[in-house]
Amino acid sequence: MILVCMLAPTVSQAALVWSNCEKITAVSDYLAYASYDAIYITVSPAISGCTGNGPASAVTFAVNQEGVTATNVNSILAIALAAYTSGHQVRVFYDNATTPQCYSQIVGVGGYYGECP
């Protein structure tokens, strides 16, 4: 029992963190592509380690990851497209332990508290 208690704290855990203010430079909709079932949002400046399995800085909103469901993923897509077309910056709540995909949970247009232009 003591050995289990000593080893338990060493298990890796998800670290959900907010990005800095980011500009969305691309939105890719892979929802119809069954093996991905995800949205990739490319942001600038780059989030270290996040490539979304591509060459640029992208975060991934994937069904069945970080609370994203087949029901709520379309609203995330709509929010990302609104930010992209309006030019508003966003902050992304993502899991920095899931690089390079950086599975994400929330995208906040204007930031979490409106701190992004």
CA–CA distances in Å: residue 54 to residues 4, 57, 76, 99: 39, 8, 20, 12
Q: How far apart are CA 117 and CA 115, in angstroms?
A: 7
- 68-110 per-position pLDDT tens digit: 999 999 999 999 999 999 999 999 999 999 999 999 999 999 9
Q: What's the pTM?
A: 0.83
Class at the top of the CATH hierarchy for domain 13-109: mainly beta
Number of other CB atoms surrounding residue 12 within 10 Å: 6
Q: How far apart are CA 26 and CA 7, in angstroms?
A: 42
Domains of the chain: which residue ranges?
A: 13-109
- 4-36 per-position pLDDT tens digit: 433 344 444 569 999 999 999 999 999 988 778
Q: How far apart are CA 64 and CA 57, in angstroms?
A: 22
Q: How far apart are CA 37 and CA 96, in angstroms?
A: 20
Residue 113, classed as helix, strand or coil, is coil
Contact 66, 105 (CB under 8 A): yes
